[in-house]
């Protein structure tokens, strides 16, 4: 707003409110003063001055309220037309405007979903503890009259009046959800119970962002929703896989017992803008390494397959599922299947990189194949991916180029080991990266010390309390087991090169 606009609003307020009130109140003040003067004494003049001061305060308060009201109306109008610095949003009639809660809304997928819901004209509340989410992902909506942001954790109950819940909250990349597996389980179980309780209380529809990880290392290819999965229930990925399976069970238990209106999306590998450069997923790692002409690292021999969808397609699927009439689980993914090695070559070509493609030891329990059967999505919600993988990669590469430019230095991707989410590192920062290809395996081993600096993952053995295992204790136990030649009983032995998996990401959730 210009200075002249502000002056105009203030003058208008004074003319409309101050003048009439002032005239009436002046008469009241004069009358009071004359009455008191009749009784004599200097006290009359003092009382008269006090009454005049009160009158001035009243007028100023009315004017101030009028100015604020006028400014708020102007700001709201500017916001609706997109001229206030916010992205433009639709104006919906009250009976179509929904109050929507997005848990995990500051994360990669969540923030893209928030953009969609806001531009459609709904009122959106984001709940995020910022463990993996970033405030910068939603900062362009802060202060908007339709937007609210709560820094909170879904494991604690929340009391809101809402119409829909998109429950996306949970770390999704393997290094992050393995960092504190007990908290990951709590997020999927206690967090989902809290959201279901909220949905029950306010009669809201709730959508769970589940994952293709519930299929484990599948024996059926591609994977339909009817497949029950092949999951290692005690492996390092089980905290996420089993947590999501239990969350699905809770959803349908609430539906059957108390009639909660539920939706379940089984999300396959997704990439796009606002991926964190250090989330350790295959797409972000490959692009960051390629843009810096560093070695592109595969975990395994690269023959494992993945299916990748662009984030805009996923958001479209989530919205269609939420607003459709189908309540059983739905796969959301792109059926185009790539070996991880061929995907690395594609990224190298698109970035015009001089990077080498090198192999590191495979990670535990990473699936050999992953491809969605999207027949149900096509038939029941009318959804199919619209973006080709190459189109999505070009958009994502442009995003990561901007991230690199903003950092002004080198970004070191996260390795496959359990790791706490951390700021993007530049030259001189810490971070367990790959300095030279001939030291790749050594660097990967050294990254364990880097993880210890961030608290380290709790060990799989039982401790009390489980969350308070120290990094030193964890490292000493691992070292002691190694010296004694004792295998970790929870770490399956690799059987062949074909059972090994790809890069650190087959995470399918947001």
If phi over 0 gives left and psi between -120 and 50 gives alpha, with beta otherwise, what is residue 505? beta
3-state SS of 263-327? EEEEECCEECCCCCCCCCCHHHHHHHHHHCCCCEEEECCCCCEEECEEHHHHHHHHHHHHHCCCC
Q: In 421-493, which ranges are continuous DSSP H helix? A: 440-453, 471-483
Which residues contact residue 339 at a Cβ distance below 8 angstroms, ignoring those fewer than 6 apart? 302, 303, 304, 305
What are the tokens at 56?
């001035």
Percentages (nearest 5) of helix, strand, coil residues in the chain: 45, 10, 40
**Distance from C-alpha of 274 to C-alpha of 109, rounded to nearest angstrom:** 8
What are the tokens at 418?
């359990």
**Distance from C-alpha of 502 to C-alpha of 510, rounded to nearest angstrom:** 19
53, 58, 62, 64: CA torsion to nearest 10: 50
Half-sphere exposure of 318 (CA within 13 A, CB side): 32
Q: Token pair 């604690």 is at which residue?
A: 156
The CA-to-CA distance between both ends of the chain, in Å, stands at 39
**Distance from C-alpha of 284 to C-alpha of 237, rounded to nearest angstrom:** 20
**Distance from C-alpha of 129 to C-alpha of 186, rounded to nearest angstrom:** 14
pTM: 0.70
The residues that are catalytic are 240
* Three-state DSSP state, 30: helix
In this structure, are residues 229 and 215 in contact, taking their beta carbons and an 8 Å threshold? yes
The DSSP annotation for 43-112 comes to HHHHHHHHHHHHHHHHHHHHHHHHHHHHHHHHHHHHHHHT-SSSPP-----TTT--EEEEETTTSHHHHH
**Distance from C-alpha of 357 to C-alpha of 87, rounded to nearest angstrom:** 40
Count CB-CB contacts under 10 A for residue 388. Answer: 12
Q: Which residues of 474-502 are buried (b: 16+ CB within 10 A; e: fewer)?
A: bbeeeeeeeeeeeeeeeeeeeeeeebbbb
65, 71, 73, 75: CA torsion to nearest 10: -150
Long-range contacts of 491-494 (CB under 8 A, 24+ apart): 491/235, 491/236, 491/364, 492/232, 492/235, 492/364, 492/365, 494/362
Per-residue pLDDT of the chain (510 residues; tens, 9 = 90+): 454 455 555 555 544 544 444 444 444 444 444 444 445 555 556 556 665 566 677 777 777 777 776 766 666 666 666 566 899 999 999 999 999 999 999 999 999 999 999 999 999 999 999 988 899 999 999 999 999 999 999 999 999 999 999 999 988 767 777 788 888 899 999 999 999 999 999 999 999 999 999 998 889 999 999 999 888 889 888 888 899 999 999 999 999 999 999 999 999 999 999 998 877 788 998 999 999 999 999 988 888 888 999 999 999 999 999 999 999 999 999 999 999 999 999 999 999 999 999 988 887 777 788 899 999 999 999 999 999 999 999 999 999 999 888 877 677 776 665 566 665 544 433 333 333 333 333 233 333 333 333 334 333 333 333 333 333 344 443 344 333 333 333 333 333 333 333 333 333 333
* Three-state DSSP state, 405: helix
Count CB-CB contacts under 10 A for residue 74. Answer: 15
Which residues contact residue 407 at a Cβ distance below 8 angstroms, ignoring those fewer than 6 apart? 424, 426
């Amino acid at each position: 707003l210009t200075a002249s606009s502000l002056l105009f609003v203030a003058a208008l307020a004074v003319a409309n409110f101050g003048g009439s009130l002032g005239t009436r109140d002046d008469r009241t003040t004069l009358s009071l003063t004359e009455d008191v003067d009749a009784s004599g004494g200097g006290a009359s003049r003092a009382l008269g001055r006090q009454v005049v001061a009160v009158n001035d305060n009243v007028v100023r308060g009315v004017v101030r309220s009028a100015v604020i009201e006028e400014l708020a109306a102007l700001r709201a109008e500017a916001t609706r037309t997109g001229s206030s610095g916010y992205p433009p949003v639709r104006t919906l009639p009250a009976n179509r405007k929904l109050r929507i809660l997005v848990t995990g809304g500051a994360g990669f997928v969540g923030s893209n979903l928030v953009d969609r819901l806001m531009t459609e004209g709904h009122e959106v509340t984001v709940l995020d503890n910022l463990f993996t989410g970033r405030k910068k992902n939603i900062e362009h909506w802060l202060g908007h009259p339709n937007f609210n942001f709560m820094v909170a954790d879904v494991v604690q109950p929340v009391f809101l009046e809402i119409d829909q819940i998109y429950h996306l909250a949970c770390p999704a990349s393997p290094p992050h959800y393995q960092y504190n597996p007990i908290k990951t389980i709590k997020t999927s179980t206690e967090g989902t119970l809290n959201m279901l309780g909220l949905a029950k209380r306010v009669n809201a529809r709730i959508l769970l962002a589940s994952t293709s990880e519930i299929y484990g290392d599948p024996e059926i290819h591609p994977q339909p929703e009817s497949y029950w999965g092949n999951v290692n229930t005690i492996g390092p990925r089980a905290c996420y896989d089993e947590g999501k399976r239990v969350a699905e069970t809770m959803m349908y238990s609430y539906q059957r017992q108390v009639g909660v209106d539920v939706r379940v999306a089984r999300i396959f590998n997704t990439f796009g803008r606002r991926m964190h450069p250090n989330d350790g997923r295959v797409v972000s790692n490959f692009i960051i390494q390629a843009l810096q002409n560093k070695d592109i690292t595969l975990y395994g021999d690269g023959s494992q397959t993945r299916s990748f969808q662009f984030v805009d397609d996923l958001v479209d699927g989530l919205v269609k599922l939420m607003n459709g009439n189908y309540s059983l689980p739905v796969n959301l993914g792109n059926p185009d299947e790539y070996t991880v090695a061929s995907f690395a070559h594609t990224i190298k070509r698109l970035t015009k990189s001089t990077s080498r493609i090198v192999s590191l030891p495979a990670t535990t329990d990473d699936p050999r194949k992953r491809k969605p059967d999207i027949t149900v999505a096509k038939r029941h919600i009318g959804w199919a991916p619209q973006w080709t993988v190459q189109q999505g990669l070009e958009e994502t590469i442009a995003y990561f180029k901007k991230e690199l430019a903003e950092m002004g230095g080198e970004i070191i991707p996260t390795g496959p080991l359990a790791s706490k989410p951390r700021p993007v590192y530049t030259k001189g920062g810490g971070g367990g990266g790959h300095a030279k290809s001939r030291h790749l395996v050594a660097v990967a081993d050294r990254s364990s010390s880097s993880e210890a600096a961030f608290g380290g993952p709790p060990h799989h053995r039982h401790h009390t309390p489980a969350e308070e295992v120290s990094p030193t204790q964890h490292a000493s136990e691992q070292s002691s087991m190694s010296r004694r030649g004792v295998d970790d009983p929870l770490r399956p032995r690799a059987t062949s090169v074909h059972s090994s998996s790809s890069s650190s990401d087959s995470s399918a959730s947001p």
